Chain A
Amino acid sequence: MDTLIPLIAALPIAGFLFTAAVGRRLGKRAHIVPVAAVGLSWAIAMVVVVTALTGGLGEDGHTVKLWDWIPAGAFHVEAALFVDNLTAVLLIVVTTVGLLVHVYSIGYMSHDPGYWRFFAYLNLFMFSMLLLVLGDSWLTVFVAWELVGLSSYLLIGFWYRKNSAALASKKAFIVNRVGDVGFALGIMAIWVNTGTLNIRDSINVLTSETLVAFPIPIGLIALLIFAGAMGKSAQFPLHVWLPDAMEGPTPVSALIHAATMVNAGVYLVARANPIFASAPEAMVVVAGIGIFTALLAASIAMTQTDIKRVLAYSTLSQLGYMFAALGVGAWTAAIFHLMTHGFFKGLLFLGSGSVIHAVHEEQDMRRMGGLAKKIPHTYRTMLIGAIAISGIPPLAGFFSKDEILGEAFKLGFAWVWAIGVVVAVMTAFYMFRLIGLTFWGESRVDKAVEPKIHESPRVMTVPLWLLAIPSVLLGLVLAWPGPPLGPLLGQHGPGLLAGWLEPVYHQGLEILGHHEAEFAIFGIDGVLILISIAVATGGMLAAWRLFGVEIGSLRRPATPERVRALSARAPFLYRASLNKWWFDELNHLLFIVIGGRIAAAAWWFDAKVVDGIVNGIGALTKRSGGGLARVQTGRVQNYAFGIAIGLIVMVGSYLMIGGG
């Protein structure tokens, strides 16, 4: 283990260094080393994952110390890696989706002149993301946190000649940094309170009841950590960077901005669960911001016409669900949804990339339609993804989303549940709107492009199908309570995932005082499940009514006139959704217009006032030495004047101090 665990992260960084150094000369073979590195990393990760989840690393996980990173006396931070069951679960998503995206990119990026650069960046990202989940101390996680930010910056701005891409990459980095300020301050507070930055040690100190009051209240620490999570996971009001991040190549959107990096915030809060458990007020904030983001983003996703932006807002919304789950204390449900979402959203994004490829880099769904027959693999896999995310049983999303909603209700957060149900309707609606506009009905594709539409090569469709498998089955598998059909028979054992994560959440759950309620299929749980299914179906049917459907014999044409009528009925809501609630405009006003004015004013102050005083004093001395100035050059005269002042002060001080 002591060699295997470091290798998981070391292989991708080696791939990055190699490709960065010589990739340019490798041409179309540049992908071999990076893909092999990630493939090997995946294989090793699977060994580690199986070992961990079968209890091979013990309940408390396994630490591999690498070196003393910052040995500054009392402030001592080790460079060390750590694997426990939570890390293992994250490793499954990160390495699997990562590997599939690498493979897919061989096809997707094959015509790009920056082919080698793309794979170098992807490897850098994989390293950073793996370090993030493997980090043993807060500061190691913070390092990885910033490095994923860097990789994201590089990949969003991959097509740097496009101004929009350059702007989006910068925006992503800076908005993330807003959250990072909170995270950094949280880390400082943790050190000041506990004297250690090791994650488990510091949590143990923070949550032990015997200690006297801390200098920094624990609720504040929780909120500071959450601020970091809000940046990386794009929660309101730091959500504005993620939709713009779609400027990056689509595999990047799938890997970084859907399946892995944006989950970092969820991971962080789950990792810090005992801290949050000790600060119930902070948890309410988490739940509130999470469910609000879910609602806000879903409302925007309903009217967007760019296929990738719909998916981006959908990602925001689903991340909101995860934070809502974290906030109500349903930590297993949050990680459950993180996993299922990682696979089906990765699938949907890669599918959208395949669509965009097929219609020659068109992203506007108004210029798609009727693609189902022309790109069947893409269509079928995306349909699976859409059913999964909409929460139709027995696909993966149903289980994880239902667990979030059910737990929220049962833990006494009825408002979270109620909003969550509304979001569930909207989710099914916007997903089937996307499917309808893209794949069903009449083709609206550009006539010149129409005959050239083609299915993507196998190197791209195979990853799609491989992602479709967990999108279907993962929910069933992870929720499985052991013996066959346990939950349906009213027999409650913890699901597979819950069992894995029990050691991680044990401490936090104890602080919260949650006890597992009996699972009653013929009681409250059954009702909640029925409501979940009903709302998902309702949203789907509404989308079918407006945007058509073509599944087997189930056929209905789209009704654009109804869409128009509906948007005319609520013009404000429609415009708000279309304009993303004007957040970009607000930020432009606050930070570009007003912020720019402040900066310009500061510069004026510097040049005219601060420097003006300096020059003024200079001018004054020059004038007062006017007689001398005629004989001497200004410079030497000023010099002399300086010496004269010096002498006067010198003698004066001597007299003053010597005499006193």
Chain B
Amino acid sequence: MEGLPILTLITFLPLAGALLVAVLPSRYARPVALGASLAAWVASLLLVIGFSAGRGGLFQFVEKVSWIPSFGIEYKLGVDGLSLVLVVLTTTLTWISILASFKPIQTRIKEYMVAFLILEVGMIGVFLALDAFLFYIFWEIVLVPMYLIIGIWGGSNRIYATIKFVLYTLIGSLLMLVAILATAFAFQDAHGGDWTGAFDFQALREFATTGGGFDPTLQLLAFGAFFLAFAIKVPMFPFHTWLPDAHVEAPTAGSVILAAVLLKLGAYGFIRWTLSLYPYAAQTFAPAIIVLSLIAIIYGAIVALVQPDLKKLVAYSSVSHMGFVTLGIFVFQPQGMAGAILQMVNHGLITGALFLLVGVIYERTHDRTIAKMGGLAARTPVYAAIFGFFVFASVGLPGLSGFVGEFLTLVGTFAVSPVAAAVATLVMILAAAYLLWMFQRVAFGELSGFLAGLGHHLTDISPVEILTLAPLGALVVVFGLFPGILLDTISGSVEVAVRDGASGTAIAIDPIAVAIGLGLVAAVVVVRIVTIPFGRQPAAPAAPAAEGA
């Protein structure tokens, strides 16, 4: 297998599919797209077979081609345990999403499928890239198709949502580019002007952890830039508000892939790039990130409680669940790190499934208002049973996959700070409250007037819809009972990440600078609160008569 560039194959199989979809008549768009995504999926499963878990902390199947030699930029891909599980998560969720789009997407099918396959290229590329510049390219590639998917096939307020999504993530990623360049400059400076390896993750990591490391100021600034890019993507409080808007407007499959994979890009970035390259800065910022994570966990759950829209509720639950990921990463404990990675995978499976399930009901009702639902258990029992299964998976029922990741994260946190763990554990109550309350209002009681009015349009879940959910359900059970499958794969990466992260010590920061910074933020907040136009919706830019309506 070493001869075959399997990583390139996995990454660009969807691109080949996209090209094929583009040139063939649109009636072939669906099968070809599904075929291409399935091919990438099969290739990723071959990668799993070929992967040596015993050396999971090392990069395997590394491919390296010189790209811009004058700056040492390379086309370099490699896979370790962490990226492996995320690549498989991506390829799995992509074919499921494409299959789930067959019925709902009826306009511009060809363009949609092309966008979706290019999206997959970007996502896989992010997880496999070992060159900082290449990483940035893939990172930006992800943005474009997602922008189109929400902007063209989205709901009524889609333009507002896309602008917000794009601008928000773009600001983060541009700063990240600056940080990448600054890091490369510093690297070549330290190597006497030699650009070799200035963008190579492995060379950078070696320099950062054993070769002297980057200058503290650079670390703080670069980490800050990376942090912004990743924190927006995760999304961490208070950079999360684009997410509910994007979810609400996105088509079902867009929401699925957004929640299941796109949010993981940020968490992956934290583990891969920031811990290894800027360990001192990571240590410095860790307490603040832990606090933000705790806020996200509790605050996301509290806000989820009062959401009137199914998708918004699941979106806020994502904020809460992803808080566990950042929490687990920045406690620098093996259990926390392993828990965070497990949580990434499990959140992908479970929240992906929840968005699919919301899509199922939306297909029939064209509505997602919880208050209009009720009594589905009697009318659509199979749907209600599957929904209930994933609701409990999301609640963190032991035996299903969500529990192990959350519990490991909590154990790792407890070892560092019992108080932080106690705060995070409170979400056990809140998650049960918002999810079960939602489920009760949707599934129990007598059939609501609104649903009864739909008559025979309100059919139970269809075989194709079950087909999209079955693999997710199976994995939720398998990873719940045998999390060792994942843990063995990622154990090497966990070890490396924790070691790298712990190799630094917190940098003393000038308290006056902190005070000035916090003061500025506080001033902005105060000014903004004072100028809130009470009683009006958040200022939504008037949607320009946009293309693709």
Contact = CB atoms under 8 A, between A and B. Distances in A.
Contacts of A603: 303, 306-307
A612 B495 CA distance: 41
A643 B178 CA distance: 11
A650 B528 contact: no
A73 B544 contact: no
Contacts of B241: 606, 610-611, 614
Contact of B484 (A70, A191, A635): A70
Interface in B304-359: 305-307, 334-335, 338-339
A638 B437 CA distance: 40
Contact of B299 (A165, A167, A602): A602
B428 interface: yes
B78 interface: no
Interface string B505-549: 000000000000000000011001101100000111100101000
Interface stretch (A172-180, A286-294, A532-540, A578-586): A172-180
A178 B430 CA distance: 9
B59 interface: no
Interface string B156-180: 0001000110111011001101100
Interface stretch (B268-276, B417-425, B453-461): B417-425
B408 A622 contact: no
A147 B399 contact: yes
A184 B484 contact: no
A203 B476 CA distance: 32
A58 interface: no
Contacts of A69: 481-484
A613 B527 CA distance: 9
Interface stretch (B13-21, B28-36, B105-113, B443-451): B443-451
A157 B217 CA distance: 59
B95 interface: no
A184 B410 contact: yes
Contacts of B397: 146-147, 150
A128 to B, nearest CB: 9
A160 B175 contact: no
A639 interface: yes
A490 interface: no
Interface in B348-397: 375, 377-378, 392, 397
A598 B303 CA distance: 9
A174 B436 contact: yes
B181 A596 contact: no
Contact of A619 (B189, B484, B529, B539): B539
B524 A613 contact: yes
B182 A654 contact: yes
A185 B414 contact: yes
Contacts of A619: 539, 541
Contact of B445 (A71, A160, A216, A616): A160
B411 to A, nearest CB: 5
A606 B237 CA distance: 10
A142 B335 CA distance: 18
A612 B544 contact: no
A192 B413 CA distance: 10
Contacts of B215: 657
B296 to A, nearest CB: 11
Contacts, number: 225
Nearest to B408: A72
Contacts of B474: none
B444 A160 contact: yes
Nearest to A170: B436
Nearest to B527: A616
A607 interface: yes
A188 B436 contact: no
The CB with the most chain B CB atoms within 10 A, among A160, A615, A657, is that of A657
B433 interface: yes
B491 interface: yes
Contacts of B528: 609, 612-613, 616
Interface in A586-633: 596, 598-600, 602-603, 606-616, 618-619, 622, 633
Interface string A631-660: 001110011001101100110011001101
Interface in A96-153: 139, 142-143, 146-147, 150, 153
Contacts of B238: 610, 613
A143 B432 contact: no
B178 A650 contact: yes
A74 interface: yes
A165 B444 CA distance: 9
B512 to A, nearest CB: 19
B398 A147 contact: yes
A170 B541 contact: no
Contacts of B392: 150
Contacts of A653: 178, 181-182, 221
B432 A616 contact: no
The CB with the most chain A CB atoms within 10 A, among B168, B398, B410, B437, is that of B398
A174 B429 contact: yes
A642 B140 CA distance: 14
B185 interface: yes
Contacts of B221: 653, 657
Contacts of B168: 614
Given A618-B167, A635-B163, A189 B418 contact: yes
Contacts of B403: 143, 146
Given A189-B418, A615-B540, 17 more contacts: A69-B482, A70-B484, A70-B487, A71-B484, A75-B338, A146-B403, A147-B399, A160-B377, A161-B444, A167-B440, A170-B436, A184-B410, A185-B422, A606-B303, A608-B538, A639-B170, A657-B182
10 contacts: A72-B335, A150-B397, A161-B446, A163-B445, A178-B429, A606-B241, A609-B528, A612-B539, A616-B539, A653-B181
